[in-house]
């Protein structure tokens, strides 16, 4: 993952950048107008930030891509596993109806051109997918609950059903999220992973000093993509940790939930 060639507050995946039919990005926390714990490029509509500041930040992002704010589809995520298809029927609805439909959605798929499918994050894992053969895209918000609920599998299954996607045609990017050494979980969370038959032998550890359990949420999702048939060399996972890099990223673990959100998006040209 590298800094955008023109905008220093945007990051891009090397794999996805090679694809001429798409655009994509992940924002950092710099380059906006928000104050305090939301400083400065907060793009989370459902945070406690000043709505006027969020609106200005979204305008800044839209201008970077010569787009309108309405060209960025952002769900109201609830750490679930609902996947929404963005199609002509959805786009014909008034914006107020679209907003209602986007509540409780944590993944989006489409074949429509000119729209950025986005998710907001501040430690959870943003995942961008592109079906290079059928020209379909997806964006996924994978927190631990969504991961346990196999949101990645549900999203790819929706792509298969709607667009005849074959997993070996997908390339994917796993964006900045909290790293294993900084992501402590309770025993109850580990039990939930075990119930759903996740093998945490290589993606979790127990600290000797405290006996606390830590998991690698990015790697768990990378292994899910591989299990579902995406070739390993078609997946790019950044090592950037949102918790550690306080100058670059918001982090709910570091700052509490009262902080800003980054936005990750992908668009078909």
The pLDDT, as a whole number, for residue 8 is 96
pLDDT at 71 over 80: yes
| Residue 207 maps to a domain | no
Whether the upstream peptide bond of residue 40 has omega within 30° of 0, thus cis, is yes
The tokens for 153 are 């599998």
Does 47 score more than 90 pLDDT?
Answer: no
Cα distance between residue 98 and residue 141, in whole Å: 19
210 pLDDT higher than 80: no
The residue-averaged pLDDT of 156-184 equals: 98
In the predicted structure, residue 208 carries a pLDDT above the cut 90:
no
Residue 23 pLDDT greater than 90, yes or no: yes
Q: Would you say residue 185 lies in a domain?
A: no
Q: Establish if 29 belongs to a structural domain.
A: yes
Looking at residue 207, its pLDDT comes to 80
pLDDT band at 64 (very low <50, low <70, confident <90, very high): very high
Q: Looking at the 3D structure of the chain, how many domains does it have?
A: 1
Instruction: Judge whether 193 and 200 are in contact, CB under 8 Å.
Output: yes
Is residue 194 assigned to a domain?
Answer: no
Q: What are residue 43's phi and psi, to 5 degrees?
A: -120, 15
* pLDDT higher than 90, residue 211: no
**226 within a domain of the structure (yes/no):** no
Q: Can you tell me the mean pLDDT for 135-146?
A: 98
Cα angle, residue 242 at apex, residues 238 and 246 outer, rounded to 5°:
130
User: Quick check: pTM over 0.75?
Assistant: yes
Grade residue 209 by pLDDT with cuts at 50, 70 and 90.
confident
Q: What is the pLDDT of residues 82-116, one digit of tens each?
A: 999 999 999 999 999 999 999 999 999 999 999 99
Domain of residue 138: give its range.
2-178+232-268
- At residue 262, the pLDDT reads 98
User: How does pLDDT run across 120-136, given as a tens digit for each residue?
Assistant: 999 999 999 999 999 99
Question: What is the average per-residue pLDDT within 196-201?
Answer: 94
Report the b/e string of 176-197 with b at 16+ CB within 10 A.
bbbbbeebebeeeebebbeeee
State the pLDDT confidence band at 46, using cuts at 50, 70 and 90.
Answer: confident
- In a domain, residue 199? The reply is no
Flag whether 264 is in a domain. Answer: yes
**Among 164-173, 182-191, 206-215, which range has the highest average pLDDT?**
164-173
* CATH at 102: 3.60.140.10
Please state the rounded mean pLDDT for residues 239-263.
95
Q: Is residue 43 part of a domain?
A: yes
- pLDDT the model gives residue 140: 99
């Amino acid at each position: 993952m590298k800094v955008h060639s023109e905008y220093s507050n945007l990051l891009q995946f090397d794999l996805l950048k090679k694809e001429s039919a798409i655009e994509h990005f992940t924002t950092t926390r710099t380059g906006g107008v928000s104050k305090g714990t939301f400083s400065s490029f907060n793009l989370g509509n459902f945070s406690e930030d000043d709505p006027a500041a969020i609106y200005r930040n979204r305008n800044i992002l839209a201008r970077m891509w010569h787009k309108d704010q309405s060209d960025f589809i952002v769900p109201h995520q609830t750490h679930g596993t609902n996947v929404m298809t963005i199609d002509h029927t959805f786009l014909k609805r008034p914006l107020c109806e679209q907003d209602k439909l986007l509540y409780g959605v944590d993944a989006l798929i489409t074949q429509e051109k000119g729209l950025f499918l986005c998710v907001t994050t501040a430690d959870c894992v943003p995942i961008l997918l592109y079906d290079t053969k059928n020209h379909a895209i997806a964006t996924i918000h994978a927190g631990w609950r969504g991961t346990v609920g196999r949101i990645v599998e549900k999203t790819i299954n929706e792509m298969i059903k709607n667009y005849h996607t074959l997993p070996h045609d997908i390339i994917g990017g796993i964006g900045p999220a909290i790293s294993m050494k900084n992501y402590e979980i309770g025993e109850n969370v580990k039990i939930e992973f075990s119930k759903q038959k996740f093998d945490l032998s290589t993606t979790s550890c127990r600290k000797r000093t405290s006996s606390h359990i830590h998991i690698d949420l990015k790697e768990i999702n990378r292994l899910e993509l591989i299990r579902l048939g995406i070739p390993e060399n078609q997946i790019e996972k950044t090592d950037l940790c949102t918790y550690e890099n306080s100058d670059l990223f918001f982090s709910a673990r570091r700052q509490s939930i009262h902080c800003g959100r980054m936005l990750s998006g992908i668009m078909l040209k």
